[in-house]
Every structure is written in C-alpha cells, then in structure tokens.
Amino acid sequence: MPQLTDKCPHCGENITAQASEELRFKSDEAKIESLFEEVSELVDDGNLDKANNKLVNTTFLKSISEQGTYYIVKYYDPIYLKVIKAYINQGNYEAAEELVLSYRGKIGNELSWKDAPTYIYLRSLYKKEGRDFSALKSDYDYSR
C-alpha cells in the first residue's frame, strides 16, 4: 500500500506523493492556460509590447520544467508563437526576433528548439521571404 504522505489541497485528506505531484501539474496547466488567455487578449487588443513583456518576465513553472524541454515547448510554444506572429504581421521582425531569442534561451536546449513549432514556422517563413535565419538557427539544424 502506498504511503499517504501529502495533504490534498482541496479536502485536506492524506494522499500519496504521486497524487500530490499530479494535482500540482494539473494546477500548473491551468496557470499556463490563464497565461495564454491573458497574452492572447493583449495581442488581440494590439498591446504586443505588453504581451512581450509578460512573456519575457515569465518564469517557466517548475512542474513543467522538471518534466523536460519537450513539455516546456509543448505548453509554452503556442503562447510565444502567437506574439511572434503578431509582430511579424506588423512587419516588426526586430521585436519578433528579440522575443524568439529570449524564448530560445529559456528553453536552453538546441534539439528541443529545432523541433519547436515556432522554430519550424520561422525557418519556413524566412526561407520563403529570403530573410537571414542564421541568428535563430539551431546548432542541430544541418539544412541549408
């Protein structure tokens, strides 16, 4: 029988450490969803710089980060990509690239960066537009 070492935040009953971890992860998923909604609203209202600042000043949640960079990309990439696309749609590639570089640094893993939807989108867009992609290119991307 598993040891009931943690307390449920909802009812106060004893629960297993694994159940406690799952509850924290689900709670953090809701926080990420809330962040996405907040950033989306800022983007929709045209407040790209506020959305950018929100993301730059956001620390990835520990429960997500502990799962690895795959989960960081899975949960955070759509949020970043929304702001990056909005900047590009306004022709502000400089602001988009600054946010991309911040996000890439937060991921901290070149293989995960190469597989991120943001990376794939930008690589394709820059190639189509004939833009220099070298500053954003993953160390593990051997394509030309």
Average pLDDT over residues 43-53: 97
Q: Is residue 78 part of a domain?
A: yes
Under 8 Å between Cβ of 102 and 66: no
Look over the chain and give the mean of its residue pLDDT values, rounded to a whole number: 92
Q: Is residue 112 part of a domain?
A: yes
Average pLDDT over residues 32-50: 97
Q: How many domains does the chain have?
A: 1
Query: Is the torsion defined by CA of 99, 105, 110, 115 positive or negative?
Result: negative
The span from the CA of 133 to the CA of 71, in Å, is 25
Q: Is residue 124 part of a domain?
A: yes
Structure tokens at 98: 């600054």
Q: Is residue 6 part of a domain?
A: no
Give 71-105 pLDDT, tens digit per residue: 999 999 999 999 999 999 999 999 999 999 999 99
Taking only Cα atoms into account, the Rg of the chain, rounded to an integer number of angstroms, comes to 18
Provide the residue range defining the domain that includes 117: 38-129
